[in-house]
Structure 1
Amino acid sequence: MPGLFQKILISAAVLGLVAVEGAPSVEPRTATEQGNGPKAIYFLTNEAQNAVVALPVGCDGTLSGGSVTGTGGKGSNAIDTNTSLPAAPDALGSQSALTVSGQYLFAVNAGSNTLTMFSISARDPTKLTALGRSASVPGDFPVTVAASAKNNLVCVGTTGVKSGVSCTSFSSHGLGKLDALRPFGLGQTNPPVGPFNTVSHTFFSSDESVLFTTVKGNPPLNNTGFVSAFPVKPTSACGGAISSLSTSETRSSPAGTAVLFGSAAIPGSTSLFVTDASFGGAVLSVDSSNKATLAEKGVISNQSATCWVTISDVTGTAFVTDIAVNRLVQMSTTDASIISSTDLSANGGPGLTDLASGGNFVYALSAGDGTTKTAVTVLDVSEGEVKQIQHFDVSSTGAGKNSQGMTVLM
């Protein structure tokens, strides 16, 4: 897939998407005290027998040996359009293949079209207990999941023949039945052929009132992809009906974007920070009708495919990763300018995929390429400086180049 993404720059240039990197730099804000730091991180093996790897986080932010808990479902791989072979790393072509909400964890099983819910032990955050049976997803090839504690609602994005989003309620007893698919109509296959024209990331707005999904375009076909938005229908003030997701969609294709990938709601605003594999990162403004437009754009020099993002509560900035360039780039959530770029090539990893922030730290998955071991890179982002404090080998857990997702328990 990295070879294919290198071709995006040519297509993007034809479309006039790659501009001069001219946004002014912004000084990082002073970091706050860590307070209650992260307790554990989680990612998926995404193998034939899918499993969640849970690693405890020490007081200094570093990782140690944890647990591997089966989901009861199957992982899978999209097909790389450049090689016609199973894609890896980034086997699912997505962000947030699993997510944490409160003391619950949700994980997709792309190969069995199911969603699994776990409870997380309050005493040992690496101890996961499946709640009920995995729920069948009405779409094909689920790759991304979002959960709202405010609404007790979990939603899954699928990217196969039946692509779209579907949701259900959740409780301490487990998952309800997922509702009817809200279709995207991507004209895909099972498994999907990507990375172009596939679902990237499903996530809630900062106030959990809207469900967004980013979908990659296809620059060679002059297709810019889109941002999908469905409002949440909240519970009645008098009780009764539970929260659900509207079936009324707002779909927008922000001019100046092409291959929308990972995203993050910018805290305290309605804006979104998104990555675009064709150039870097951008800030999208979202109006009262949930239409997204390009507000600011940051071009990252010498990138291959910038695809994943997390926003740190400590720095208030975005951190983005590239599947084929082993570095962590820090960007402003105000104007998408580049604040810093931390070279991580000394650790031997080929690049980074999904990532999550917690307290003073950022945890980034290096899924490897079959020749390098799968690892998690831990970075301290406090005090206005970004520095690697650990490159933790996780290959002993059975995790390999199919590994996907990253989430953190605070």
Structure 2
Amino acid sequence: MFTDHATIKKIALGAAAAAATFGAGLLGAVPSVAAGPEWHGSPAGAVFVQNNGAAGNSVTVFDRSDAGTLTRAGSYATGGLGGAETGAAVDPLASQGSLTFDSPAQLLFAVNAGSNTVTVFKVHGDRLQLREVLPSRGLFPTSVAVSGGLAYVLNAGGQGSVSGFREVDGRVVPLPGSTRTLGLGNADVPAFLQAPAQVAISPDRAHLVVATKAHNTLDVFSLGRSGEPTAAPVVTPSAGAVPFALTFDAGGRLQVANASGSVSAYQLRAGGGLSLVSGPVANGQAATCWTTNARGYLYAANAGSATITGYRVGAGGGLSLLQPSGVSATTDAGPVDIASTADGHFLYQLATGAGAIDEFSVAQDGTLASVGAVTGLSADNGSGMEGIAVS
């Protein structure tokens, strides 16, 4: 088990520093209304933000213009409750993937950590239609991975577990025999440094990966033809302390953001083992916890520094800093979840500490340029929003 208490303390202090500006902007309740201002153009797409309200979770939709700027379009109740992990500062769910968009099926998955459920919306442009509210088959769901009609939910509470679902004729149904324990021994509402951070499905849908913070491991289940996982995972110690966010590069290599301030890359082997390809590549920033790929680059949000770090990704998966300083852009306070458009031209940073979404364009050379921000966002649970996705 990971026992580097000095590193844990450093991360907690970094997150607390980010939370220092967490003020009155996050104290009001998000209205759950069906529609917002009328859109007078043709939106290029939408951005979705999960409000994570303890009294009632909801998702706010923003129209995305061709220039990358956002306009509020409406807010939709999930039919469940948000939640907050013990000790979390600006990242109440302490996870990546709490709001996940399945583009081929046009479905949006939202976790309801406070009611142990997952909501599935059908996406109609900038409008959401609630389809199902499903039991997560565990305690305190925090992350959802979706690929090729297969979905897996990560439950962070208690022993921790993963549980599978299938998309069938536009509906989402439980995948029999797919629930697996992680053996974490957490409280029903876990502490944020004890909770697992994300579940991810490999691009070839052959593996399911879970990042565990306190155990400092990457747990990999192999998946059968129907998507069912092996009885137990192959456990690999993380090369960097406190593994958090999981993404995959164009070559199918696993990229892991380590909350201790670095990023690593691994090659997945057929049996579920991992071989280190690159890193950990340190960035000199605090609480590196969320990542997204855009234009072939990897970007990581640093909650404790209010910055974004950009990484070049080499042909063999090697990682190197885009900027020697480790800073590609500064953000509003408390940056958590980060997402980018499918073409990689725009990147959106949810800055929960400031109640804002920072908007950036991504140049061909990886340079980030601010194109604006949405401000005045709020949540009603005292910990704030978490979860952002882009269509």
> TM-score, length-normalised on structure 2?
0.82
Q: Distance in 2 between matches of 1:63 and 1:167?
A: 33
Match of 1:220 in 2: none
Match of 2:108 in 1: 105
Q: Following TM superposition, by how much is the alpha carbon of 1:172 offset from its aligned partner in structure 2, in angstroms?
A: 4.3
Match of 1:193 in 2: 191
Which one is further off, 271-280 or 397-406?
397-406
Match of 1:326 in 2: 306
Match of 1:286 in 2: 268
Post-superposition CA distance 1:173-226 (Å, at most 9, x none) = 42213545200010100211122x311111111223322111113xxxxx4x22
C-alpha RMSD of matched pairs (Å): 2.4
Aligned CA distance change for structure 1 residues 178 and 98 (closer, same or farther; 3 Å): farther
Q: Distance in 1 between matches of 2:227 and 2:359?
A: 37
Q: Distance in 1 between matches of 2:346 and 2:238?
A: 33
Q: Following TM superposition, by how much is the alpha carbon of 1:145 offset from its aligned partner in structure 2, in angstroms?
A: 0.3
Are residues 1:117 and 2:120 paired? Answer: yes
Q: Distance in 2 between matches of 1:162 and 1:255?
A: 20
* AA of the residue aligned to 2:243: L
Post-superposition CA distance 1:28-61 (Å, at most 9, x none) = xxxxxxxxx9611112111120011111110111
Secondary structure class of the residue paired with 1:7: helix
Q: Distance in 2 between matches of 1:399 and 1:39?
A: 29
The answer to whether the 8 Å contact 2:53/2:379 transfers is no
Q: Distance in 2 between matches of 1:407 and 1:352?
A: 15
Q: Report 1:6-405 matches (<5 A).
A: 7-8=10-11, 39-48=45-54, 49-80=56-87, 87-102=88-103, 103-121=106-124, 125-132=125-132, 134-148=133-147, 150=148, 152-177=149-174, 179=176, 181-195=179-193, 197-217=194-214, 223=215, 225-234=216-225, 243-254=226-237, 256-269=239-252, 271-312=253-294, 314=295, 316-333=296-313, 334-340=317-323, 341-344=327-330, 349-358=332-341, 359=343, 360-368=345-353, 372=354, 374-384=355-365, 385-395=367-377, 401-405=383-387
Aligned CA distance change for structure 1 residues 255 and 72 (closer, same or farther; 3 Å): closer
The answer to whether the 8 Å contact 1:205/1:212 transfers is yes
Q: Identity, % of aligned pairs?
A: 27
Flag structure 2 segments of 5+ consecutive residues without an equivalent: 1-5, 14-42
* AA of the residue aligned to 2:224: K
Secondary structure class of the residue paired with 1:233: coil
Flag structure 1 segments of 5+ consecutive residues without an equivalent: 11-36, 81-86, 218-222, 235-242
> TM-score, length-normalised on structure 1?
0.78
Q: Following TM superposition, by how much is the alpha carbon of 1:357 offset from its aligned partner in structure 2, in angstroms?
A: 1.2
Aligned CA distance change for structure 1 residues 131 and 9 (closer, same or farther; 3 Å): closer
Q: Following TM superposition, by how much is the alpha carbon of 1:126 offset from its aligned partner in structure 2, in angstroms?
A: 2.0
The answer to whether the 8 Å contact 1:6/1:305 transfers is no
Q: What is the number of equivalent residue pairs in this alignment?
A: 345
The answer to whether the 8 Å contact 2:84/2:383 transfers is no
Aligned CA distance change for structure 1 residues 67 and 343 (closer, same or farther; 3 Å): same
Q: Distance in 1 between matches of 2:242 and 2:44?
A: 31
Q: Following TM superposition, by how much is the alpha carbon of 1:98 offset from its aligned partner in structure 2, in angstroms?
A: 1.2
Q: Distance in 2 between matches of 1:8 and 1:400?
A: 21
